[in-house]
Chains A and B, each alone.
Chain A
């Protein structure tokens, strides 16, 4: 830490005050409020949507048992989508960092480019491309790769593929950033010490790129686990995720306590997984 710029003892606190106050009011307070809602019960004889505090912790158990399938599905789909995105993104990031030469910046822009069209438009584009009227299904049927009765949309495959696609740039960019930072001399040194290409990759490149892999998997897994848009557009009632349940509890059923209990369980599960994962992967770069 170098002491430069305007630095009186109170300065950091003055700089922090507005933003932190904002986050207290509109992030921590809502979360606390949500916690409070999660143990409420309907008022006897009240209208729909009217609840009172009765500290009913059973809400959590009820909500979980009622929706354990959707919970399981959310984490399973998110995990598969994360692994698939990692498999696609790592070689891509490697190619951009080491093989692109002058094209590097152009290719990086191309990775982010899909973001610029609305992600909903892209997801719906996939639905139409893979749908009955799209061009993929007839070709696959003519080649007898899929049977005439098989559809590509409204399936778990479509939901996971949609999530993989949507979060791919989140995976690629951090991995690229950490591969790009690797000093090529370390790779040369490894070669000089008689390591072949595979050994160099395993013992030098991969460990040095781990911070990017950790950041990328988190940036993919967290939003994927809470996502409901891909499941709503590309899925069917059999592929409902926990996000779909929370959304419908809030808006269609007006069951705030259950929606709150589910949100909290989801957040707690994700935070525990993330903490364990960061510990295991051994990076504190993120925070």
Chain B
């Protein structure tokens, strides 16, 4: 009895973590499991195991159109927000200038603004300007909320750099441009890659801001939300599961590459 209770005490934190992880992953496991369900259109109750949904991911009407839009928007929003955000991060992280704290505030504000306010305010601007909501307004909206996250991520990486590396490059007669291209940029690159990945996943998963600014265009989260009332087709689960597997592989691959580099 005593040994059991002592074992329990020693492993309390581990048991707790195990429960927390179960809680975190239950809906993910559920989503993946039901992608193999032969449940028909609504996919509410478990019927029988099938690969059909995976072999025919575009089988439900509109689901692949929605996915295509989400990928296009995610790609463009990632591209623009990563470029703009990285430039701002370099300005803040590497330079002293007048208006630095104002800029910091300007980066912080979009993160402190609830999504619904961001979405509603942009829509009201587009309506005032007589711009119809749709593809490009959605891209613009996504860039707005992604920029701040890119800045924060890249800035953290810049702050963690050892300035002596750049000084060494300069000592070895590299000019400023060479130093930046050959030393600074490669060192900051992992931060930029992480920021881009974050921006893409934020954009891909966004529903609230998209719902305000996309008009009649459908995206994957919008598709899921709209079909929730009738029951979601299993194809949506297939896409959700595939995204999960792809993203997880990218992260794991990144970790392995990072570790190999560290060993070298």
How far is it, in angstroms, between the C-alpha of A280 and the C-alpha of B82 when the chains are bound?
A: 34
Let me know if B163 and A2 touch, CB within 8 A.
yes
Contact at A115–B201, with CB atoms within 8 Å?
Answer: yes
- A260 with B95: CB separation less than 8 A: no
User: What chain B residues lie within 8 Å of A274 (beta carbons)?
Assistant: 112
Report yes or no: A117 in contact with B241, Cβ–Cβ below 8 A.
yes
Q: Which of A116, A125, A250 has the most CB of B within 10 A?
A: A116
- Residues from 109 to 139 in B contacting A, C-beta threshold 8 Å: 109-118, 120-125, 127-128
Instruction: Name the residue in A16, A95, A169 with the highest tally of chain B Cβ atoms < 10 Å from its Cβ.
Output: A16
Task: Decide yes or no whether B4 CB sits under 8 A from chain A.
Answer: no
User: Within 8 Å of chain B (Cβ to Cβ): is A150?
Assistant: no
- Which residues of the other chain, A, contact B27 by a CB distance below 8 angstroms? 114, 117, 121-123, 125-126, 129, 165
Interface string of A105-120 (1 = CB under 8 A from B): 1010111111111111
Chain A's nearest CB lies how many Å from the CB of B150? Answer: 9
- Contact indicator A129/B103 (Cβ below 8 Å): no
Interface residues on A, range: 35 or more
Q: B residues within 8 A CB of A287?
A: 101, 104-105, 108
Binds B, one of A54-62, A64-72, A139-147, A220-228: A220-228
Q: Are A91 and B44 in contact (CB under 8 A)?
A: no
Point out the residues of chain A lying under 8 angstroms from B84, CB to CB: 18-19, 22
> Could you mark each residue 16-37 of chain B with 1 if its beta carbon is under 8 Å from any beta carbon of chain A, else 0?
1100110111111011101000
Tell which of B54-62, B71-79, B174-182 binds the partner: B174-182
Chain B residues near A30 (CB-CB < 8 A): 118, 121-122, 124-125
Take A1-B96, A128-B30, A226-B114 as given contacts and tell me if A168 and B144 are in contact as well, using a CB distance cutoff of 8 Å: no
A152-160, A185-193, A205-213, A265-273 - interface stretch: A265-273
* Shortest distance from the beta carbon of B67 to any chain A beta carbon, whole Å: 11
A79 at the interface (CB under 8 A from B): no
Asked if residues A120 and B225 are in contact (CB atoms below 8 Å), the reply is yes
A16 and B123 within 8 A (CB): no
Chain A interface main SS type: helix
Q: In the complex, which of the residues A15, A29, A112, A222 contacts B112, with contact meaning CB atoms closer than 8 Å?
A: A222
B255 to chain A, nearest CB (A): 6
Known A27-B144, A109-B248, A113-B244; judge A228-B116 contact (CB<8 A): yes
- Chain A, residues 267-285, CB within 8 Å of chain B (1/0): the string is 1001100100000000000
Interface 1/0s, chain B 90-106, versus A by CB < 8 A? 11001111000101111
Count of B interface residues, CB-CB < 8 Å: 93
**Interface: A80 (CB within 8 A):** no
Q: Which of B121, B184, B207, B248 contacts A31 (CB 8 A)?
A: B121
Which chain A residue shows the least CB distance to B20?
A92
Which of B28, B120, B151 interacts with A122 by CB under 8 Å?
A: B28
Interface residues of A in 1-37 (CB under 8 A from B): 1-2, 4-7, 11-13, 15-16, 18-20, 22-23, 26-31, 33-34, 37
Q: List 29 A-B contacts (CB under 8 A).
A: A1-B95, A2-B167, A4-B167, A11-B95, A12-B94, A12-B95, A15-B87, A20-B103, A26-B141, A26-B144, A30-B118, A92-B20, A92-B21, A95-B16, A99-B13, A111-B24, A113-B25, A115-B205, A116-B201, A117-B27, A117-B31, A117-B241, A119-B207, A121-B236, A121-B240, A127-B228, A133-B44, A260-B124, A263-B116
Rank and list the top 3 A-B pairs by shortest CB-CB distance, nearest first. Answer: A226-B114, A19-B84, A125-B27
| A113-B248, A228-B116, A243-B114 known, 19 other contacts, Cβ within 8 Å | A4-B184, A12-B91, A16-B88, A20-B88, A20-B103, A110-B21, A115-B205, A115-B247, A116-B246, A117-B27, A117-B32, A118-B224, A119-B207, A119-B221, A123-B27, A125-B27, A125-B30, A169-B24, A247-B211
Chain A positions within 8 Å of B, measured between CB atoms, are 1-2, 4-7, 11-13, 15-16, 18-20, 22-23, 26-31, 33-34, 37, 88, 91-92, 94-96, 99, 105, 107, 109-129, 133, 165, 168-169, 218, 222-223, 225-229, 233, 243, 246-247, 250, 256, 259-260, 263-264, 266-267, 270-271, 274, 286-287
